[in-house]
């Protein structure tokens, strides 16, 4: 199906484990983003990518790693999960860099770290 | 300083009435875009409306309109003829042309939970 998908939709993991959240988009959008959503904070940017093999940090990057070997995929890895990383994670994509370009969001992944 | 401020954590409105959700923003970038997203209880983020900083007219999309007051740095969302399905969290967001660097990310407010009463 066309669009942007995330997997898994729900994940429970233990403190210290590595976990990878997947994001896939079918539009060939250049820009992709990872946000986390926490109560009282809205969405905050973790990492973004302007193209394959080009990534950079956002507002809250500590504890996360990203890669983008293909335009359509943008996985987010928590190298050693902590309870403070319990959150809802959204992947988004955008076709361009201008201010008017809408960002298209995936359905989100709810991650719980115990 | 907060870039996007939504001062109403929760609001109630009667079905079929209009409601205004407040959003103020802070930027010195001459070029920026303002967005509103809806997040129903199912969790997805749904784009509603966009207003560019250079747009002369207020944006409208069906029952949604954006009351853009540039001098006051406000971008309030107006929903006319509220429906039960409008009950959701609403986020205001901004994208700056220059000051956000190459990220061009959206900066979000903390949201307003709207409940439409039958």
**In 3-state terms, chain B is what percent helix, strand and coil (to 5)?**
5, 50, 45
Taking an 8 Å cut-off on Cβ atoms, the answer to whether B111 and A42 are in contact is yes
Asked whether residue A78 carries a pLDDT value surpassing 90, the answer given is: yes
Inter-residue contact A87 to A100 (CB < 8 Å): no
Asked whether residue B24 carries a pLDDT value surpassing 90, the answer given is: yes
Residues in A lying within 8 Å of B, measured between beta carbons: 31, 33, 40-45, 48, 50, 56, 58-59, 88, 90, 92, 94, 97-105, 107-108, 110
Inter-residue contact B17 to B73 (CB < 8 Å): no
Other C-beta atoms closer than 10 Å to the C-beta of B54 total: 11
Q: What is the mean pLDDT of residues B43-59?
A: 94
Q: What is the mean pLDDT of residues B105-109?
A: 88
Averaged confidence pLDDT in chain A: 93
Q: What per-residue confidence (pLDDT) applies to A100?
A: 83
Taking an 8 Å cut-off on Cβ atoms, the answer to whether B104 and A31 are in contact is yes
* CA of B107 vs chain A CAs: smallest distance (Å): 7
As beta bridge partners, residue A48 has: A33, A56
Q: What is the mean pLDDT of residues A61-69?
A: 96
Q: What is the tens place of the pLDDT at every residue in A16-51?
A: 999 999 999 999 999 999 999 998 778 999 999 999
Phi-psi region of A3 (alpha: psi -120 to 50; beta: other; left: phi over 0): left
Q: Is the previous residue joined to A8 through a cis bond, with omega within 30 degrees of 0?
A: yes
Confidence of residue A57 (pLDDT cuts 50, 70, 90): very high
């Amino acid at each position: 199906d066309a669009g942007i998908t995330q997997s898994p939709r729900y994940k429970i993991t233990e403190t210290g484990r590595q976990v990878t959240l997947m994001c896939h988009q079918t539009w060939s959008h250049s820009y992709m983003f990872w946000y986390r959503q926490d109560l009282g904070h809205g969405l905050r940017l973790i990492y973004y990518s302007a193209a394959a093999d080009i990534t950079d940090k956002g507002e809250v990057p500590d504890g996360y790693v990203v890669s983008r070997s293909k335009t359509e995929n943008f996985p987010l890895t928590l190298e050693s999960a902590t309870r403070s990383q319990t959150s809802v994670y959204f992947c988004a994509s955008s076709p361009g860099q201008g201010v008017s370009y809408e960002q298209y969001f995936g359905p989100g992944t709810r991650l719980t770290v115990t | 300083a907060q870039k996007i401020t939504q001062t109403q954590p929760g609001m109630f409105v009667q079905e079929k009435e209009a409601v205004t959700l407040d959003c103020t923003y802070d930027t010195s970038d001459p070029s920026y875009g303002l967005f509103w997203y809806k997040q129903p209880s199912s969790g997805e983020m749904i784009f509603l409306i966009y207003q560019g900083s250079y747009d002369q007219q207020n944006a409208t999309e069906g029952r949604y309109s954006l009351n853009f007051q540039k001098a006051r740095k406000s971008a309030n969302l107006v929903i006319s003829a509220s429906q039960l399905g409008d009950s959701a969290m609403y986020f205001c967001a901004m994208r700056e042309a220059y000051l956000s660097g190459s990220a061009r990310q959206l900066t979000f407010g903390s949201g307003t939970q709207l409940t439409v009463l039958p």
